[in-house]
Amino acid sequence: RLGEMSEPEKKDNIPDEAAGTGKEKGIPNGGNPSKTKEVSDFDLAAIYVSDAQYNRNIHFDTSAQAVRLYLLYNHWLPKVLLYFFILVDLSLAIFEDPAVVPLPTWATMLVELLCLLVFTIRLVHYAKVIPRDKFWKDPKNICIIAILLTLIDMIIYGALKATDYYAVRWSRVLRPLLLVNVTEGRQLRRAFRSIRNALPEIFYVFLLFMFSVLIFSLMALKLLGKRGLKTTDGSPYFTDYLEIVFDLYVLVTTANSPDVMMPAYNSSFLFTLFFILYIFINTYIFMSAFLAVVFNNYKKYLKEEVRQLVRAKRHKMVRAFAVLQESREEGRGPVVTHANWNQVVRLVQPSISNPHRELLWNVCDDKNQGFIGKLAFVQLADLLNIEVITLKSRPHPLQSLCPAFYLSGPSRLLCRLVQHRGFVIVYDLIILVNAVFIGLDEENPMIANSEWVFLALYLFRNTLLGQQRQSVFLNTSSCPVVAGGYTSRQILDIVFILRVLRLIRVVDSIGRFRTIINTLIRIGPAILTFGQLILVIYYVFAMVGMELFKGKNNFNNIASSFILLVELTVVNQCSGFATVTHMSARIFFVLFHILVVIVIINIFVSFVLEAFYVEYSVDKGDLQTALERKIEELELAVAQEKLEDNLVNAMETSDNDLGTGQSPTANKPALMFKIASKRYRTVDAFLQRMFEADLDPEDFAENNDPEAQASGSFANPTFNSM
Amino acid sequence: RLGEMSEPEKKDNIPDEAAGTGKEKGIPNGGNPSKTKEVSDFDLAAIYVSDAQYNRNIHFDTSAQAVRLYLLYNHWLPKVLLYFFILVDLSLAIFEDPAVVPLPTWATMLVELLCLLVFTIRLVHYAKVIPRDKFWKDPKNICIIAILLTLIDMIIYGALKATDYYAVRWSRVLRPLLLVNVTEGRQLRRAFRSIRNALPEIFYVFLLFMFSVLIFSLMALKLLGKRGLKTTDGSPYFTDYLEIVFDLYVLVTTANSPDVMMPAYNSSFLFTLFFILYIFINTYIFMSAFLAVVFNNYKKYLKEEVRQLVRAKRHKMVRAFAVLQESREEGRGPVVTHANWNQVVRLVQPSISNPHRELLWNVCDDKNQGFIGKLAFVQLADLLNIEVITLKSRPHPLQSLCPAFYLSGPSRLLCRLVQHRGFVIVYDLIILVNAVFIGLDEENPMIANSEWVFLALYLFRNTLLGQQRQSVFLNTSSCPVVAGGYTSRQILDIVFILRVLRLIRVVDSIGRFRTIINTLIRIGPAILTFGQLILVIYYVFAMVGMELFKGKNNFNNIASSFILLVELTVVNQCSGFATVTHMSARIFFVLFHILVVIVIINIFVSFVLEAFYVEYSVDKGDLQTALERKIEELELAVAQEKLEDNLVNAMETSDNDLGTGQSPTANKPALMFKIASKRYRTVDAFLQRMFEADLDPEDFAENNDPEAQASGSFANPTFNSM
């Protein structure tokens, strides 16, 4: 057990941020552990824990000033400002030529300068936080180059425009780089890395695929070129080799499927076999091969990344422990006291409620010793990532107003009735009937008035349950119809959509569907990452496309460019676009297809495949189980049937009030906890769980070994002696 | 070790064929092992081994007569006849109304009767082979019902036609059932089983998916229905709920993608977001979810099936061992002698060469004892499935004709030159140049004549290597161009295709691509299974489609029906088909889409994914390694660089002659072996290998434990006492 702790620290492949910081900073209080902790110590420890919790890998300076700057750097306000200015910078394309809303060049240039200034300030801030030599080695500082290039381009462009020359704002393609490389774009950078890693394998399959396309094109040329066939518009059919290659490439996307083979089909029935064979090999086999290669690579590299992430996280926690530790008698390892622990947790997560914090302490300090060892401390970052719902036990309004009536026989019967499963089912049916009514013609007065009935039914239910906020969502969606009258089409549209969403509640209440829905929800954060990725690529392609094809085609402004690119992604509709038979349009189309359809969509599908696999096969994490056990031990658990962990509850209210009154006789504690086990706060936490089963067990060995934890007997972390 | 052997036998989930037969047959010679074996014993043992090798799960009677009938049943001639008549039966659709080639009704009916007779004979034969009570429980005998129903239908149809009533040959949809249920359609039945197993999960995802489509349709109705928008042909846009549902369903297939959203897009730019969101959720997320669910289920159930297959195989081998075994002195397990083993192997695989058989014996009898124990015997079925290439060491023709010249200095230099890597590369380049020439205009006399040069170069190479048959393929592909003159377009077409295929040789010689190509080749047999599956489903849909839509649409005959269905599969081109706005056409389209695109294509993709995963991650099987080690031990191995295990070698010649003369000094044995490690003889062997890594280790424990094998110390198989 003693050896296990220090083993991973000796490894060479520790992420260099983690290894680096350990070396250069003098660990405060490492030598004199009995000294009272200072405020800056807690700040430092809190930063380590917070970095571990959110998997930030910034190796900041540990001087008191740098720590304060780093706290500011991680504050939400500068982050939001940064994202705002990135958004402004990106949306400048709306106002630049070819513009959706034309603005004078000086206006957009001025705004862009402002954006660049903000980015520079952020970068300077970052440079102050981390050690100087680290800063210059950081690959993220490609941003500096992007900013400089943009400045140069702006000067050139301004000068050329002033002298009425033709000028191209080529630096606009660099803008998404900022989105990728600001330090918050971690998920996005990871996605790019996993694309880069998969590229060599994809490349080899792609070469084979192109070889197959070329061979088939050659066959098509020999089989069909000499027959003097004509296409529907009278031009010769399949006589030019490069034309055939392009046509067959597009056939892989099935965009020109029936048209391209029609002349051959009209000539002889048997040629269809050629095209069917082609589609089968190149569309089905090769496209599956692409998916397979991407899937394998994605899994392999992501697993390695997550492993490093876990290792880095533990390093940070060990460092935080070193800051907070106090030594005990000879021969026993250092510990962290309850008070210090409390202070750090409060700093890390100011919003955490006292009971929730105490619960976490109870999980860590399993033996009620008043202090915890290193192993127990290390798991704090993961514990903080487990979302715990705190439920305030609040009496039914009627119970406080008129307790005699509330506790009477009929009232109790009513309570039991309301608690019954049938009650839920009845209301689900009511929602379904309501949905049918929504679908019917609303001009009909009978149906329009029926909405009143449904509203009354929902209000009745809420009164019975004593819920006030829980169904705000449901009610607002009904109210405007009744109150506002048919004034504005737009408001009504939104209201209708909200009313329809009510139906999701019904589906989510069916257990069979919940696994699937939960998986889909889990994929949520990752979808945002992929959304950014797509945005970056669309932006670059839109910029290039607008320069190449503006005026000729659908690339008339940024909005229509984006819509065209969506079309290309979804339907591969190169028709109407590739009618610009110019070579550049074709190359543009093929490049876009390769990048988006072959690479990115396949990575997305891989992610979904893996997520479903995890949902179907992996059990709950050990730490979650421990937390749940502790909650049950302390008798703070919420009975499962009282609050179902379903989608709509999460949608409707941010902090759940338990509609008590359901069990007026039971003597429940005032606060109850529940783990929102299926939800993850961060993408990293989800990723970590995705690969948990495959991860090197030693990466977790320390965190989960209660025996070693209890005895508190491990050596000092090796980085102390480094 | 003792316990391990009998453990799997006790399990309850042993396939009942295997368990059943053990019970009912009195195991011959089990009690009196010293008796000389009779011919029928060897027949029986050979059948068991052969059944194990090809994973046939027929529990035949063990009486001498039934064994002889069973041998006939497995003979290739009746099998080929059966397949021929199935093909005839299926292709009757070409001649039946609506016909491609019309034939009178009595003619097709007569042929169908003949087919039914053949099927009945085959069934009777099957009934004679297996025990009576087993026959009636066999689910495959749904064939009998199919035959009876067909007969009834034919009588009704004939009677109605004779009295000039309208009649439908509804039993034609039953025809593919025969293809599925003849005993040889094992792979196909397995594919159907895996579809059936995946169905419940797919169903739940499908319900959610339909729910999402319905919700979006409702939103579309509310958002767009009241705006008075018109489609391009002037009809009202998005006003009818069911119309919207169908349109949005088709949008998932992206078949009507730009058209369906155009009116909304023209009305307001923002509605595009609605459609993009819809496509994103329903096309990308849900289609990925379908793939994920199918993939997980496929893996899970196939793994279970293969596990049972392996267990059944071992049971058969144990039974064969029981037939052949001879007891030794007290306390040591029974064995099989070399002579008996030889006789059985010869019966199982008459085509096996003596050296190959001796090699296998050497692998089994590792210690040269002259007999083998049960463990060593059991692995025979797997050994027979490993394809071993026997290479005859044949001297260069020149060496025998004129040895003095052949062994002279310049000749030796030439030999070394030819052996050099550069020589191969030069010839690869020549083939590439040839390919470019093929692509160029062949009317040009210079280019037409250049083919002579290439032919001469190929012949020169073959002379140098002393190969005669190896390049027959290459030469024939060039010859007709030269000899036959431009007589027939058809012949030329084929020749050109063959010449183009020559290029594959070049690609296959590059190591990077070989992994991918090997995986693609491995998938080959499975593709045949999926091809049959698709054929069955197309046939049923074509039959139904022709009855429903004949004359109205593209379902005019079986050929055009098939082409339409291919179109539906590939492009989801319901346009031109679904213009039959009749409800039945839509239901037909949706059903077809669900079955083929959602279920079958996803299963196919799952298979490809798994195959690539295996190729990238799983190593060679243990048994193959043992065989390879033995070959090397016996110094019979072929040096890797002498014969590369590539595609074209396999394509060009069935039994490889090693072009010696390359090393005239070396004293090589006259026969050499090489494992065609990347190829599998049967689909089952491939499947077994696919899941080998995941299989319960105890399924293999017996086969691979050399220690237990050497000591020969295990208990009699438990079924002896059952």
Kindly state whether A289 is in contact with chain B, defined as any CB-CB distance less than 8 angstroms. yes
Q: Domain for residue B633, yes or no?
A: no
Structure tokens given for B137: 């429980």
Among the residue ranges A309-313, B131-135, B537-541, B678-682, the one predicted with the least confidence is B678-682
Q: What is the pLDDT of residue B105?
A: 86
Residues B522 and B490 both lie in one domain? no
ipTM of the complex: 0.75
A199 Cβ neighbours under 8 A, 6+ residues apart:
A599
Kindly report the nearest CA distance between residue A211 and chain B, in angstroms: 9
Q: Look at residue B170 in the predicted model and tell me its pLDDT.
A: 87
Task: Judge whether B618 is closer than 8 Å to chain A, CB to CB.
Answer: no
pLDDT at B166: 84
Bridge partners of residue B440, in order along the sequence = none
Span A667-676, average pLDDT:
56
Residue B684 lies in a domain: no
Q: Tell me the per-residue pLDDT of B400-416, one tens digit each, with 9 for 90 and over.
A: 677 777 677 777 777 77
Average per-residue pLDDT in chain B? 73
The answer on B470 and B600 residing in a single domain is no
Measured between alpha carbons, how far is A248 from A269 in angstroms, rounded to an integer? 19
Residue B309: band (very low, low, confident or very high) from pLDDT cuts 50, 70, 90: confident
Query: How confident is the model at residue B640, as a pLDDT?
Result: 40
Instruction: Answer whether residue B720 shows pLDDT above 70.
Output: no
Cis amide leading into A33 (omega within 30): no
The crossing angle, in degrees rounded to 10, of helices B622-633 and B354-364 is: 110
Q: Are A169 and A96 in contact (CB under 8 A)?
A: yes
Q: What is the pLDDT of residues A210-249, one digit of tens each?
A: 988 988 888 888 778 777 788 877 788 888 888 888 888 8
Query: Does the pLDDT of residue A394 top 80, yes or no?
Result: no
Q: What per-residue confidence (pLDDT) applies to B209?
A: 92
* Tokens of residue A108, six digits: 């957009």
Q: Is B572 found in the same domain as B430?
A: no
Same domain, B449 and B503: yes
Q: Is residue A580 within 8 Å of A115, Cβ to Cβ?
A: no
- Would you state the pLDDT for residue A272? 83
In DSSP terms, B675 is beta-bridged to B388
Residue B138 and residue B49 share a domain: yes
Please report which confidence band the pLDDT of residue B391 belongs to, taking 50, 70 and 90 as the band edges: low
Q: How confident is the model at residue B14 (pLDDT cuts 50, 70, 90)?
A: very low
Candidates A215, A265, A563; nearest CB to B503: A215
B244 CB contacts (<8 Å, ≥6 apart)?
A: B217, B220, B221, B225, B238
Q: How confident is the model at residue A110 (pLDDT cuts 50, 70, 90)?
A: very high
Q: Return the biggest CA–CA distance within chain B.
A: 98
Question: Would strands A388-394 and A657-659 be described as parallel, antiparallel, or unpaired?
Answer: parallel
Q: Do residues B489 and B532 share a domain?
A: no
Q: Give the pLDDT score at B439.
A: 66
Q: Is the pLDDT of residue A114 over 90?
A: yes
Query: Is A583 within a domain?
Result: no
Q: Among A172, A188, A204, where does a domain finish?
A: A188
Q: Residue A609 and residue B571: Cβ atoms within 8 Å?
A: no
Mean pLDDT of A494-500: 64
DSSP SS3 for A621: coil
Separation in Å, CA of B323 to nearest CA in chain A: 44
- Is B84 part of any domain? yes
The reported pLDDT for the residue numbered B113 is: 93
- The torsion region of residue A673 among left (phi > 0), alpha (psi -120 to 50) and beta comes to beta
SS3 state of residue B372: strand
CA B236 to chain centroid: 50
Task: Answer for the pair B70, B129: CB distance below 8 angstroms, yes or no.
Answer: yes
Tell me which chain B residues have a C-beta less than 8 angstroms from the C-beta of A513. 204, 207-208
pLDDT at A718: 29
Together in a domain, B495 and B550: no
Does residue B65 have a pLDDT over 60? yes
- A226 DSSP 8-state letter: G
Q: What is the mean pLDDT of residues B653-667?
A: 39
The answer to whether A407 faces chain B, any CB pair under 8 Å, is: no
The SS3 call for residue A529 is helix
Q: Does a structural domain hold residue B648?
A: yes
pLDDT-based confidence at residue B115 (cuts at 50, 70, 90): very high
What range defines the domain where residue B44 resides?
2-188
A608 close contact with B: CB closer than 8 A: yes
CB-CB under 8 Å, A222 with B605: no
Q: pLDDT confidence of A697, banded at 50, 70, 90? A: very low
Instruction: Write down the pLDDT at residue A538.
Output: 92
CB within 8 Å: B609 and A218: no
**How high is the pLDDT of residue B201?**
85
Task: State whether residue A435 sits within 8 Å of chain B by CB.
Answer: yes
CATH number of the domain residue B573 falls in: 1.10.287.70
Does residue A319 form part of some domain?
no
pLDDT score, position B16: 39
- Cβ of A219 and B496 within 8 Å? yes
Range with top average pLDDT, A212-221, A597-606, B149-158, B290-299? B149-158
Domain C-terminal end among A161, A188, A215: A188
Sequence-separated (6 or more) residues with CB below 8 Å from residue B181: B140, B142, B143, B146, B189
Distance between CA atoms of B333 and B713, rounded to whole angstroms?
6
Look at residue B505 and tell me whether its pLDDT is greater than 70.
no
pLDDT of residue B117 exceeding 90: yes
Mutate to test the interface with B, among A214, A238, A609 (most CBs of B within 10 A): A609
- C-alpha radius of gyration, chain B, whole number: 31
The pLDDT value recorded for residue A441 is: 61
User: Which residues between 700 and 719 in chain A have a beta carbon less than 8 angstroms from any beta carbon of chain B?
Assistant: none
A570 in contact with B at a CB cutoff of 8 Å? yes
pLDDT of B340 above 70: yes
Contact between residue B540 and residue B565 where contact means Cβ atoms under 8 Å apart: no
| B165 CB burial (10 A radius; 0-12, 13-18, 19+) | exposed
Q: Are residues B53 and B70 in the same domain?
A: yes
Residue range A589-625, pLDDT digits in tens: 888 888 888 888 888 888 888 888 777 765 555 666 6
Taking an 8 Å cut-off on Cβ atoms, the answer to whether A516 and B223 are in contact is no
Q: For the ranges A209-218, B298-307, B506-515, which has the lowest average pLDDT?
A: B506-515
Number of domains within chain B: 3
B414 lies in some domain: yes
Give me the pLDDT at residue B650, please: 39
Q: pLDDT tens digits for A262-275?
A: 888 888 878 888 88
Identify the closest residue of chain B to A573 by CA–CA distance.
Answer: B258
- Interchain pair B500, A609: CB under 8 A: no
Q: Are residues B409 and B551 in the same domain?
A: no
Residue A531 has pLDDT above 80, yes or no: yes
CB contact under 8 A, A211 and B507: yes
Both B557 and B482 in a single domain?
Answer: no
Task: Judge whether B311 and B702 are in contact, CB under 8 Å.
Answer: no
The verdict on B497 and B520 lying in the same domain is no
What does the pLDDT look like over B231-279, one tens digit per residue?
877 788 888 888 888 888 888 877 776 777 788 888 887 788 888 889 8
In which band, very low, low, confident or very high, does the pLDDT at B651 lie, cut at 50, 70 and 90? very low
Q: Are residues B462 and B557 in the same domain?
A: no
B124 vs A: CB within 8 A: no
Please indicate, yes or no, if residue A283 is contained in any of the structural domains: no
Instruction: Name the closest residue on chain B to residue A202, using Cα atoms.
Output: B516
pLDDT at residue A133 greater than cutoff 70: yes
Single-letter amino acid code for the residue at A516:
I
Query: Residue A424 to residues A325, A418, A420, A516: CA-CA distances in angstroms?
Result: 52, 8, 7, 21
pLDDT digit string, tens, across residues B454-465: 777 777 776 776
